[in-house]
Chains A and B, each alone.
Chain A
Amino acid sequence: MKRQIIDKGVHSTFLLIALFSIAALSLIMVFLFIEGIPIFDQITIKEFVFGQYWYPTDDPTAFGILALILGSVYVTILSGMMAIPLGIMTAVYLAEIAPPKVAEIVKPIVELMASIPSVVIGFFGMVIVAPFIQKLFNIPVGLNMFNASLMLAFMAVPTICSISEDAIFSVPVAVKEASFALGATHFETIAKVIIPASLSGICTAIILGLSRAIGETMVVLMAAGGAAMIPGSFFDPVRPLPASIAAEMAEAPFRSEHYHALFAIGIVLFLFTLIFNLFADYLSHKFRQVGEASL
C-alpha cells in the first residue's frame, strides 16, 4: 500500500529533523572547544580559571578570568536577590489571589517585560539608571554591578514568574480545598500547602531565571562598567564573562591567543549554563507532580 509507505517515510523524516537540535547543540560544543582549547597550550586550566589578571593585549599577556567569573557570579546573585522574590510573589499573586480582571492586566505586563529586547534594557540602564544612581548614592560611576544587577533582575522576573505560576497553578484544587476545609486561611494554605507542593517547579523557575541572567550579554556589556577587576562593593564596576567576549571579539585578531581565550571564556559560560539547565531538568523530572497522590 502506497500511503502506508509514505507514512513510514514521513515518520523517519520527522525523526531526523527532530535530531537537528541535538546536532546543533553538539556542533556548538565542538566549535567552542576547537577554537577555545588552543589557549591551554599557553597556560594551564588552573591559571586560566583562577588567574586574577586579565590583560589580553598587554605585553606580557595575562589570561586569568577569575575577576570575570566573579563578576558574573556576583551580578547573578545580586540580580537573583531582587528577581527571585519579585518573580515568585508575582506568580503567587497571579495564580492564587488576583481577580480575573486584574490578572488579565498583570499577565500582559509580565509578557511585555519579557519581550523588551535586552539591548534596550541595557541602553536604559546606561542612560537613565546610571546617572540616577550616581546622584542618589553619590558615587563616581553609575555603570556598575548594582546597575547591571537591577537591569538583569528586570529580565529574569518574567522567566521566574511564568514558570513558577505554571507550577503553582498545577497544584490540584482538591489539595487546596482540603486545607480550606481544615480551617486554614487562604494565606496559610498558600504558605503551607501550595508553595511546598509546587516547590520543585519554583526551584526550576529560579534556576532557569538565574541561568538567563548569567548568560545575558547586552545588559552587562552596557551597564556593568566593564572593569576586569574583582569587585569590592556593590558600586564597583565589573566585567562579567559575556561582556568580555562581546566587547573584545572585535579587536581580537583571528586565531590569536586572545581569540582562543575568548572562546575558552565561551566554554566556561556554556558549562555554567549547561550545569544550571541539567540541574533544572533533573529537578523537574525527579519531583514531577503526579496527580494528588504524590504529595
Chain B
Amino acid sequence: MESNIKMRTENLDFFYRNFQALHHISIEFVQNRVTALIGPSGCGKSTYLRCLNRMNDLIPGITVKGKALLDNQDIYDPSIDVVTLRRRVGMVFQKPNPFPKSIFENIAYGLKVNGVKDKAKITQIVEKSLKQAAIWDEVKYRINESALGLSGGQQQRLCIARALAVDPEVLLMDEPASALDPIATQKIEELIGKLSSKLTIIIVTHNMQQAARVSDRTAFFYMGKLVEINDTDTLFTKPGLKQTEDYITGRFG
C-alpha cells in the first residue's frame, strides 16, 4: 500500500499572519486515483490544495508547519526547488486563464520555459497534449489563433492541455468547472476520468454530485479541519460522522 502513495501530508498547519487556516491535515493521495476535496466555502480546501504546489508562497505573511511529501520527499524542505516542484505538480485554476497568446503558444509555453528547444518535439507534444485534453479536434485548424477566442469550456480544456504538456505527475484542480455551463462541465468530468489512468488528480469542488461522479476518494473539510476521508462511495452512502452527513445531505453549507 505504502508504495502506492504518490503524495501525502502529515499534520499540515497553515497560518495567514496570526490566523490558522488549516489544522493538522493528514491525507494520503493514492497514485493514479482521483481524490476530491469538498466542504463549504472558506473551509480551507483551496488553501490546502495550493499548499501542495506551494502556490501559497506568493502570498506574503504565511507560514506552513508539518509535512507535505511528494514521493516521500518533503516539498517544504529548503533543498527543494520550488520551480521543479511546480513542474511535477501541475495546476488547473477555477477560471480558465489562457495567456493572451495563440493556442499553440499557450501549450508550448511550459515546454519552452522548461528548456525544450527542439521545434519538432514541441509541435509533437502540443498535439499530444491537446488530444489528451480532448480539444484537438476543435482547435486543430486554428492552432495559431488567439486562445482568447475560444469558449469558456474550450479555454478550460486548453488550460488542462497546457498543464499536461509539461508532463506532471500530480494534477491539482481548483474547482475547474465552477465557471462553466453543464455541457462543458460534463466534458471536463469525462476528461478527469480518462486522465486518472496516468495521473494522480486532486480536485477541489463545491459540487457534491461532481465529487461523487469523478472521484475515487473524498475528503470533507470544515473550518480548516479534515473532518472525514473515505472511499467516495462509502463517504456518500454511509458517512461516518453526523457532520459529514449533514453537509452531503444539504442541511448546511
Q: Give bound CA distance, A178 to B81, whole Å.
A: 51
Residues on B with C-beta less than 8 A from A4 are 81, 83
B84 in the interface (beta carbon within 8 A): yes
A19 in the interface (beta carbon within 8 A): no
Interface of A is mostly: helix
Residues on B with C-beta less than 8 A from A3 are 83, 115
Residues on A with C-beta less than 8 A from B83 are 1, 3-4, 7
Q: Which of A1-34 contact B (CB under 8 A)?
A: 1, 3-4, 7
Residues on B with C-beta less than 8 A from A1 are 81, 83-84
Q: Give bound CA distance, A4 to B81, whole Å.
A: 9
Q: Size band of the A side of the interface?
A: under 10
Q: Give bound CA distance, A7 to B81, whole Å.
A: 12
Q: Give bound CA distance, A176 to B173, whole Å.
A: 39
Q: Name the residue on B nearest A1 (C-beta).
A: B81
Residues on B with C-beta less than 8 A from A7 are 83
Q: Name the residue on B nearest A2 (C-beta).
A: B115
Residues on A with C-beta less than 8 A from B115 are 3
Q: Name the residue on A nearest B115 (C-beta).
A: A3
Give per-residue flags for B97-115: 1 if the beta carbon is below 8 A from chain A beta carbons, else 0.
0000000000000000001
CB distance from B106 to the nearest CB of A (A): 20
Give per-residue flags for B63-89: 1 if the beta carbon is below 8 A from chain A beta carbons, else 0.
000000000000000000101100000
CB distance from B235 to the nearest CB of A (A): 38
CB distance from B153 to the nearest CB of A (A): 31
CB distance from A86 to the nearest CB of B (A): 41
Q: Name the residue on A nearest B114 (C-beta).
A: A3
Q: Name the residue on A nearest B83 (C-beta).
A: A4
CB distance from B1 to the nearest CB of A (A): 34
Give per-residue flags for B127-157: 1 if the beta carbon is below 8 A from chain A beta carbons, else 0.
0000000000000000000000000000000
Residues on A with C-beta less than 8 A from B84 are 1
Q: Give bound CA distance, A1 to B83, whole Å.
A: 10
CB distance from A105 to the nearest CB of B (A): 31
CB distance from A3 to the nearest CB of B (A): 8
Residues on A with C-beta less than 8 A from B81 are 1, 4
Q: Give bound CA distance, A167 to B227, whole Å.
A: 46
CB distance from A7 to the nearest CB of B (A): 8
Q: Give bound CA distance, A3 to B84, whole Å.
A: 11
CB distance from B240 to the nearest CB of A (A): 40
CB distance from A192 to the nearest CB of B (A): 35
Q: Give bound CA distance, A167 to B157, whole Å.
A: 41
Q: Give bound CA distance, A1 to B81, whole Å.
A: 9
CB distance from B117 to the nearest CB of A (A): 13
Q: Give bound CA distance, A1 to B115, whole Å.
A: 11
Q: Name the residue on A nearest B82 (C-beta).
A: A4
CB distance from B19 to the nearest CB of A (A): 17
CB distance from B140 to the nearest CB of A (A): 32
Give per-residue flags for B109-126: 1 if the beta carbon is below 8 A from chain A beta carbons, else 0.
000000100000000000
Q: Name the residue on A nearest B113 (C-beta).
A: A3
Q: Give bound CA distance, A4 to B84, whole Å.
A: 10
CB distance from A55 to the nearest CB of B (A): 58
Q: Give bound CA distance, A224 to B115, whole Å.
A: 65
CB distance from B61 to the nearest CB of A (A): 16
Q: Give bound CA distance, A1 to B87, whole Å.
A: 14
CB distance from A11 to the nearest CB of B (A): 13
Give per-residue flags for A237-276: 1 if the beta carbon is below 8 A from chain B beta carbons, else 0.
0000000000000000000000000000000000000000
Q: Which of A180-230 contact B (CB under 8 A)?
A: none
CB distance from A163 to the nearest CB of B (A): 28
Give per-residue flags for A156-180: 1 if the beta carbon is below 8 A from chain B beta carbons, else 0.
0000000000000000000000000
CB distance from B112 to the nearest CB of A (A): 11
Q: Give bound CA distance, A3 to B81, whole Å.
A: 11
CB distance from B194 to the nearest CB of A (A): 33
Q: Give bound CA distance, A181 to B83, whole Å.
A: 52
CB distance from B116 to the nearest CB of A (A): 13
Q: Give bound CA distance, A1 to B86, whole Å.
A: 14
CB distance from A69 to the nearest CB of B (A): 45
Q: Give bound CA distance, A60 to B83, whole Å.
A: 73
CB distance from A102 to the nearest CB of B (A): 32
Q: Name the residue on B nearest A7 (C-beta).
A: B83
Q: Give bound CA distance, A287 to B81, whole Å.
A: 41
CB distance from A94 to the nearest CB of B (A): 30
Q: Name the residue on A nearest B84 (C-beta).
A: A1
CB distance from A126 to the nearest CB of B (A): 50
Can you list 8 A-B pairs, Cβ within 8 angstroms, ordered by A? A1-B81, A1-B83, A1-B84, A3-B83, A3-B115, A4-B81, A4-B83, A7-B83
Other A-B pairs beyond A1-B81, A3-B83, A7-B83, 5, CB < 8 Å: A1-B83, A1-B84, A3-B115, A4-B81, A4-B83
Top 7 closest pairs, chain A to chain B, by CB: A1-B81, A4-B83, A4-B81, A1-B84, A1-B83, A3-B115, A3-B83
